[in-house]
Amino acid sequence: MLVELRTDPETEARMEILAGKANEGTLSVEERREYESWVRAGSMMSILQAKARLYLKRLAQPV
């Protein structure tokens, strides 16, 4: 189910490394592209999950 989707541990670890490098200002051009891509994907997933949770909540409410 969409609301239960999570990132795998390998991807999480990679994101933590890239986030740390981003905070330090040491990302390479390629790493920055990768990091920004993951950030955009994560944002989109968060929005979709929020909409799915809202939809499920509305379904559960009596009419």
pLDDT of residue 33: 98
Average pLDDT on 51-63 reads: 90
Residue 63 above 80 pLDDT? no
Residue 62 above 90 pLDDT? no
Per-residue model confidence as pLDDT tens digits over 2-54: 888 888 999 999 999 999 999 999 999 999 999 999 999 999 999 999 999 99
Cα-based distances in Å from 12 to 35, 56, 57, 62: 12, 27, 29, 39
| Residue 14 token pair | 């990679």
Q: What is the pTM of this model?
A: 0.78
pLDDT of residue 24: 98
